[in-house]
């Protein structure tokens, strides 16, 4: 009975995924390592020395693999964050160059920007999860025109760059104007309109 329970605990976590016939989101499996740890602990304690040694080796391999994966995730997100900070400062400098003195015009972002260099994403040291490792400037890809706020503007606010949010009419105008603009970081990717500023990150 206890053996079946030790196996059933981790299986019960994946039970909904089995019923749904779909891969569950990663954040829904946070308790899975703890369940497997419980399973291995019981099997090691209740098995013979030889079997327990083999199971302990499997458990140790899992610990090392998880530690390496976690380290890669944190490293990737550390590089992503520093790159996002650099991009935010560069965009802020371009906005300040065309921002009228004494005025704070709303800023409308168009498109998305990958952020970290492609070579880093393709390297062995890079690993992105469901949420971690993704640039704040690369969100909302599937919804190009949407109601504010955008994550890139919110991120820039955390760095002290406070820009007003555009309304839906300004967003529509920004997307029309961006059709003739080059993408960031090219010259002309930031343009002042009558009552707001357009920043084109991509087509």
- pLDDT (average), residues 171-183: 87
What pLDDT shows up at residue 89? 92
pTM for this entry: 0.70
pLDDT (tens digit per residue) in 118-154: 666 666 667 777 667 778 887 654 444 555 457 788 8
What pLDDT shows up at residue 117? 59
What pLDDT shows up at residue 124? 63
43 Cβ contact partners less than 8 Å away, ≥ 6 residues apart: 3, 6, 51, 52, 55
- pLDDT (average), residues 1-11: 75
- pLDDT (average), residues 10-16: 73
Higher pLDDT, 2 or 52: 52
What pLDDT shows up at residue 121? 62
Mean pLDDT of the chain: 79
What pLDDT shows up at residue 116? 60
Higher pLDDT, 132 or 201: 201
Stretch among 12-16, 60-64, 124-128, 140-144 having the lowest mean pLDDT: 140-144
CA 180 to chain centre: 30
Per-position DSSP letters for the chain, written without gaps between them:
-HHHHHHHHHHHHTHHHHHHTSPPPGGGGTTHHHHHHHHHHHHHHHS-HHHHHHHHHHHHHHHHHHHHHHHHHHHHHHHHHHHHHHHHHHHHHHHHHHSPTT----EEEES----S-HHHHTSTT----SSTT--GGG--TT-SS-PSPPHHHHHHHHTT---PPP-HHHHHHHHHHHTTSPPTTSTTSEEE-SSSEEEE---
């Amino acid at each position: 009975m206890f053996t079946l329970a030790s196996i059933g605990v981790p299986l019960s976590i994946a039970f909904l995924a089995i019923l749904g016939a779909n891969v569950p989101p990663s954040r829904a499996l946070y308790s899975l390592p703890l369940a497997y740890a419980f399973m291995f602990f019981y099997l090691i304690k209740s098995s013979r020395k030889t079997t327990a040694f083999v199971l302990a080796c499997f458990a140790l391999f899992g610990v090392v693999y998880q530690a390496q994966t976690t380290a890669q995730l944190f490293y990737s997100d550390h590089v992503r964050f520093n790159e996002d900070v650099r991009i935010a400062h560069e965009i802020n400098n371009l906005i300040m160059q065309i921002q009228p003195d004494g005025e704070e015009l709303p800023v409308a972002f168009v498109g998305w920007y990958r952020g970290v260099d492609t070579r880093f994403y393709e390297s062995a040291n890079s690993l992105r999860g469901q949420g971690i490792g993704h640039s704040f400037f690369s969100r909302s890809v599937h919804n190009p025109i949407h109601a504010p706020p955008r994550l890139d503007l919110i991120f820039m606010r955390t760095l002290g760059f406070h820009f007003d949010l555009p309304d839906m009419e300004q967003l529509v105008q920004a997307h029309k104007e961006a059709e003739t603009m080059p993408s960031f970081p090219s010259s002309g990717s930031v343009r002042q309109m009558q009552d707001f500023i357009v920043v084109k990150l991509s087509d």
